[in-house]
Structure 1
Amino acid sequence: MTQAPTPAGFAHATPPVTATLIVTDDAGLETGDIRLGEIDAYFARPQGAGPFPVVLVVHEIFGVHEHIRDVVRRFAKAGYLAVAPELFQRQGDVRQLGEFDQIRPVVARVADEQIFADLDAALDWAVAHGGDAARVALNGFCWGGRIAWLYAARQPRLRAAVAWYGRLVGEATANQPRFPADVAAELQVPVLGLYGGRDSGIPLDTVAAFQAALRAAGDPSEIHVYPEAGHAFYADYRPNYHAASAQDGWQRTLAWFRRHGV
């Protein structure tokens, strides 16, 4: 992975793309856009027959824009068949919206049950196209970090998940009735949570309370807090990027998957 000039393909509402942007090429990979029923997805995998371990990649609030596609290729370079479904697509194309205030109403209309069904479809596609059904993981960022915890509480086909700075508590709605704090005792697979100590949107007291709930449930999931990092510290295209925390978090993610057989 090398630093590169700003490419096209980023969501309109993202901050100006920064010089810390990382671009991953597709040399040695098979990549492409696919259709999962009513929604699009992007995949990448090593060339060859496989079977390859599978990683479902759950995007941020900006959808499957160029950063998420790059992350998919990063996982493929590490030996995985990675798939990122466009999980807001039925409700709207958030990549074309220019303001957060335009994106939030779209996301609010997306029901968790719809998300889970689309992730199931992505998993089925991956297994049918060279993925190993016995080695499946999920990686989610920000909005997708919340989904990572929730999906880990309902999908036993996973072997592990990683949640990057996903909200742990919130106001329940008809479409989003539960948060990770509600499922601490229901997780079916171990989750690694990666959080920023300077994340103003996810207070550390909620992280500590969630850790205590995991311990009380005897759950093997773990949470690591980076004291110097804020929110979205892995997003190398944004000013939030904290290189040391991001690089360590990536290595922890790969090690977590390996530790749990993915």
Structure 2
Amino acid sequence: MSDAIIAETVHIGAERIQAYSARPLGPGTYPGVVVIHHLPGYDEATKEMVRRFAVHGYSALCPNLYWREAPNAAPDDAAAFVRAQGGIPDEQIIRDVTTAAEALRALDTASGRVGVIGHCSGGRQALLVSTAAPVDAAVDCYGAFALEPPPSTSTLRARPIRDRLPDVRCPVLGLFGDDDQFPAPAEVAELAAELDKHGKSFEHHSYEGAGHAFFSVDRPSYRPAAAVDGWRRIFTFFGRHLEA
């Protein structure tokens, strides 16, 4: 497989939502992946993940979820503004990710199958999207507040999505750290039990010695061994559900 890709900022859907796109240049058809950025925003680390998927044979797209609220702000400033406003409403997340999935399926090189992945707040949102959008596989990387609301000290107003779990419509992979507080191991175990109760496919793995944001190469929280194994699991999971 060639590792030649094209990566660029695009605008998608009727609203012309800003998004970062990366896709293979070689001939053939490719599955799609919507990358949901983390709470710190539409930043360089997230764009690098988008390019990584393209190198591995996926057409990847990351919509800027803060585009409306802070259209020209730097990622840190946009994230601070959105955090102060309590976050992005769930229904808006679902609409924007659905728009991104439709854009991927409309590509001439599309295979027709699309997955979604998110880290941090994006992990919760990937799980949320799996209950309401036409995606074929979802990856939740340490998504917090799926079952319990944020602590009272937080400005975030994320609502638990426990009541949506019966509507999960695709296989889900969850990757977590044993040292994380949000979500803590007990919440991960409860999430697994809830999804099992509803007959949903949920593969999950937690890493000893890893906390929140262990995939973030530009942060002290980065744990190379956990991240390397996590990426292996992600590509195996997407390979099984998107490339079949």
Distance in 2, Cα, partners of 1:101 & 1:34 = 24
Question: Residues 190 and 244 (structure 1 numbering): CA distance in 2 closer, same or farther, change over 3 Å?
Answer: same
Distance in 1, Cα, partners of 2:124 & 2:218 = 21
> Residues 22 and 51 of structure 2 are in contact (CA less than 8 Å); yes or no, is this contact kept in structure 1?
yes
- Equivalences for 1:170-185 in 2 at 5 Å? 170-171=148-149, 178-185=159-166
- Equivalences for 1:1-262 in 2 at 5 Å? 28-36=4-12, 37-92=15-70, 93=73, 95-97=75-77, 102-106=81-85, 108-132=86-110, 134-155=112-133, 157-167=134-144, 168-171=146-149, 178-262=159-243
Question: Residues 212 and 133 (structure 1 numbering): CA distance in 2 closer, same or farther, change over 3 Å?
Answer: same
Distance in 2, Cα, partners of 1:234 & 1:223 = 16
Shift of residue 42, structure 1, vs aligned partner: 0.5
Shift of residue 83, structure 1, vs aligned partner: 0.2
Shift of residue 261, structure 1, vs aligned partner: 3.2
> Residues 87 and 158 of structure 2 are in contact (CA less than 8 Å); yes or no, is this contact kept in structure 1?
no
Distance in 1, Cα, partners of 2:199 & 2:140 = 19
Q: Which moved more, 1:72-81 or 1:130-139?
A: 130-139
Distance in 2, Cα, partners of 1:215 & 1:249 = 22
String of CA shifts for 1:122-145, please: whole Å, max 9, x gaps: 112222223535311011010100
Question: Residues 248 and 34 (structure 1 numbering): CA distance in 2 closer, same or farther, change over 3 Å?
Answer: same
Q: Which moved more, 1:137-146 or 1:178-187?
A: 178-187
Query: What residue identity is the alignment partner of 1:199?
Result: D
- Any stretches of 5+ residues in structure 2 without a counterpart? 151-155
> Residues 112 and 176 of structure 1 are in contact (CA less than 8 Å); yes or no, is this contact kept in structure 2?
no
Question: Residues 119 and 44 (structure 1 numbering): CA distance in 2 closer, same or farther, change over 3 Å?
Answer: same
Distance in 2, Cα, partners of 1:177 & 1:103 = 12
Identical amino acids, percent of aligned pairs:
35
Query: What residue identity is the alignment partner of 1:56?
Result: V
- Any stretches of 5+ residues in structure 1 without a counterpart? 1-25
Query: What residue identity is the alignment partner of 1:111?
Result: P
Count of residue pairs brought into register by the alignment: 232
Question: Residues 186 and 203 (structure 1 numbering): CA distance in 2 closer, same or farther, change over 3 Å?
Answer: same
Distance in 2, Cα, partners of 1:176 & 1:150 = 15
Question: Which residue in 2 is equivalent to 1:14?
Answer: none
Q: RMSD between aligned alpha carbons?
A: 2.3
Query: What residue identity is the alignment partner of 1:231?
Result: H
Question: Residues 216 and 63 (structure 1 numbering): CA distance in 2 closer, same or farther, change over 3 Å?
Answer: same
Q: Which moved more, 1:71-80 or 1:209-218?
A: 209-218
Question: Which residue in 2 is equivalent to 1:17?
Answer: none
Query: What residue identity is the alignment partner of 1:253?
Result: I
Distance in 2, Cα, partners of 1:246 & 1:177 = 26
> Residues 66 and 82 of structure 2 are in contact (CA less than 8 Å); yes or no, is this contact kept in structure 1?
no
Distance in 1, Cα, partners of 2:80 & 2:26 = 44
Query: What residue identity is the alignment partner of 1:105?
Result: A
